[in-house]
Amino acid sequence: MFSNQTHFEVNEEDMTVNIFNWFGDRPNPTLQTVPATNVYVHVNSDEADRILVDPAYKLERLKEAHEKLYAMHEAFREVDRQLASHRIYLPTPYGKDLYETWYNIEKAIRRFDRVFNKVEKF
């Protein structure tokens, strides 16, 4: 019922798409990504015909697929939680100019909040 398609068949390319981002660069704006929320259930042809014809059976199979998907996501989440203590987090290096820029932005936001709260009280 569902055929497997690679992301190259689904996407369009306006220019050459850079698959790998070297040195932590930002993603290419021309890269059109495939949503990661698609779930494919492979069934044989007889079962596919029954899914197309019988709405109750289709809902039953859909409910079963959702339950299995949620169980799989919970398993991934639990494994990720257990392995979180084994990760090494390295601090991101910032230059002085970038740090000063963010500091000034935070100061401006606080000043704006202060003025906004005064106006709102009035």
Q: What is the pLDDT of residues 59-83, one digit of tens each?
A: 999 899 889 888 988 998 999 899 8
Question: What pLDDT is attached to residue 121?
Answer: 80
Task: Give the burial class of 9: count Cβ atoms within 10 A of its Cβ; 0-12 exposed, 13-18 middle, 19 or more buried.
Answer: exposed
Read off the amino acid at residue 86.
H
Same domain for 20 and 59: yes
Same domain for 56 and 43: yes
> Which range of residues forms the domain containing residue 18?
1-89
Same domain for 76 and 104: no
Same domain for 81 and 105: no
Same domain for 10 and 28: yes
Number of domains in the chain: 2
Same domain for 109 and 76: no
Same domain for 108 and 78: no
Same domain for 99 and 73: no
Select from 39, 1, 28 the least CA-distant residue to 11.
28
Same domain for 16 and 61: yes
Number of helices followed by number of strands (H, E) in the chain: 4, 0
CA dihedral 10, 12, 17, 21 (to 10 degrees): -50
Chain segment 15-39, per-residue pLDDT in tens: 555 555 555 555 555 555 665 666 7
Report whether pLDDT(3) > 90.
Answer: no
Read off the amino acid at residue 26.
R
